[in-house]
Amino acid sequence: MNNSIVTEIKFKNEPVLEYKEGSPERIELEAQLAQMKNSYVDIPIIIDGKEIRTGNTEKCIVPHDHKKVLGEYHIAGKEEIKMAIESTLRAKSAWEELHWQHRVAIFLKAAELASGPWRAKLNAATMLCQSKTYKQAEIDSACELVDFLRYNAYALTQIYSEQPISTKIFKNRMEYRPLEGFVFAISPFNFTSIACNLVGAPAIAGNTVIWKPSSDAVYSSYLVYKLFEAAGLPKGVINFVPCRSIDAEDIILTNENLSGLHFTGSTEVFQRMWKIVGNNITNYRTFPRLVGETGGKNYVMAHPSANIESLTTAIIEGAFEYQGQKCSAVSRVYIPRSLWPDVKERLLQLAEKIRGKMGDIEKRSTFMGAVINADAFDRIVSYIEFARNSSEAEIIFGGNYDDSVGYFIEPTIILTQNPKFKTMEEEIFGPVLTIYIYEDEDFEETLNLCANTSKYGLTGSIFAKDRYALVKAEKALMHTAGNFYINDKPTGAIVGQQPFGGARLSGTNDKAGSKLNLLRWMSPRIIKENLIN
């Protein structure tokens, strides 16, 4: 019998560890990195808690040392995918009937494990698989991942406690049912924490989930699955199914029991999946919820009153941390002519400093690793070459690249006289930044230009000391960013503080790590009881 009324769970962000030489966290992480590099992992598909090996495998490689293979993973074929759907549906009734306090306890336990004994493992896999530095891995696969798990538990209890008004005669209550059917989660390569949340958020709300991880992050995703298993997640609640995109579309996305899609990745892929669901709409048992956080073309807008030091630091960190592969990364910048000489000098100094810190992410001093794979390398290089060969642009810093050992691309800064230049408009998803200089008196015009240059609307910043300028920018740029920053870089959103998501073609803006996102995985039922009949 469970008859306790639990008060709100408290939430606090996970502290960031520093990994100083000789610190216990550093020693543990180094040991874990060595262990992973010296062994070969054989990653199965996991359905109903059972490991399946199809023998159809792909390799897990290290982007900054691409000859190094960490292991391989098995790819589910049509038969395994069908098994996964059946298992997910079978697991549903026991999971949705389990009292929510037990569901929450499993995810809070996963958070405790990830914060403690699993921290080094999750960070090491993220560093090696996704080429993240100590700092970038720590803020992703440790802190943000733990925050998502704990925040969802906190937000769930808030939602469940929101109840309608009752009267003397009519007693009303809201039951927050999970969706009927199964949820399909598809994760991107760039954040282990996002992958964890794409499966964790629907599951904590009582849904069962099929998970297709990114082919570039299978190792770290597999460890997240094992983390849930270690925390006591029952079999079949999440099925781990690396598979080909075409099979995912044909078999999972079109299945009549699909109740929701939880996606993070590129705009084009999400649009494609939305079309598939649309074309199949008469075949589902419900209207599938489509939640997708997608691409961006994030900006920094400087006013003539901006503080040059904080502006330039924000541009460099925002554009080049994690090789520009954060969805929120800065990739277009607007600078007033009066500030340009000083801004340029400082930007080039800062860029020079980080160019010298590109390389092996296992060195504590490294600032940038490699980009994720050969396709990404070729795509980013094609933008650099486009700028190099254009009469409308000049590469004022970087522009070199080398994939002989790893997929390394220098931090690259392009200056253009065309505010609609290709690299001002399209998502590059790499360490390439484009700057446009405007005349000081054209600030308001330039705000409109910024607002109408890109099809995306994810993140953006305004830098100004002048309060009237800030107010103008906040208004003119209203629809350009779901996460808008004043005198700060547009990256580094923290769970519980700046819920994340954009608008326009950056996604459905359901704010990962918030009540808004959890509500998408629920279908509330209102129950009215007449007390006098």
Which positions touch ligand NAD (CB under 6 A)? 186-191, 194, 212, 214-215, 245, 248-249, 264-266, 269, 272-273, 293-296, 327, 427, 429, 458, 500, 502, 506-507
Closest residue to ligand NAD, Cβ-based? Answer: 265
Interatomic CA distance for residues 150 and 229, integer angstroms? 17
Given the complex with ligand NAD, which of 234 and 288 has the nearer CB atom?
288
Token pair 């090491």 is at which residue?
124
Given the complex with ligand NAD, which of 178 and 482 has the nearer CB atom?
482
CA 386-392-396 angle, to 5 degrees, is 75
Q: How far is the CB of 220 from ligand NAD (least distance, A)?
A: 13
CA atoms within 13 A on the CB side of 479: 9
CA 359-363-364 angle, to 5 degrees, is 125
| Helices marked H in 390-494 | 422-425, 443-451, 467-476
Q: How far is the CB of 414 from ligand NAD (least distance, A)?
A: 19
Given the complex with ligand NAD, which of 234 and 265 has the nearer CB atom?
265
Answer yes or no: are the C-beta atoms of 336 and 303 closer than 8 Å: yes
Interatomic CA distance for residues 347 and 423, integer angstroms? 19
CA dihedral of 388, 394, 396, 402, whole degrees rounded to 10: -10
Q: How far is the CB of 62 from ligand NAD (least distance, A)?
A: 17
**327 catalytic, yes or no?**
yes
Q: How far is the CB of 506 from ligand NAD (least distance, A)?
A: 6
Reduced to 3 states, what is the DSSP secondary structure of residue 356? coil
Q: Is 73 exposed, middle or buried (0-12, 13-18, 19+ CB in 10 A)?
A: buried
Q: How far is the CB of 295 from ligand NAD (least distance, A)?
A: 4
Given the complex with ligand NAD, which of 191 and 228 has the nearer CB atom?
191
Given the complex with ligand NAD, which of 112 and 249 has the nearer CB atom?
249
Q: Which of 327, 410, 427, 450 is the catalytic position?
A: 327
Strands laid side by side in the 45-47 sheet = 50-52, 45-47, 238-240, 209-212, 182-186, 258-264, 289-293
Q: Which of 14, 80, 144, 293 is the catalytic position?
A: 293
Given the complex with ligand NAD, which of 312 and 454 has the nearer CB atom?
454
Q: Quick one: which H or E segment has residue 427? A: none
Q: Quick one: which H or E segment has residue 38? A: none
Interatomic CA distance for residues 191 and 507, integer angstroms? 17
**8 catalytic, yes or no?**
no
Q: How far is the CB of 13 from ligand NAD (least distance, A)?
A: 19
Query: Catalytic residue numbers?
Result: 293, 327
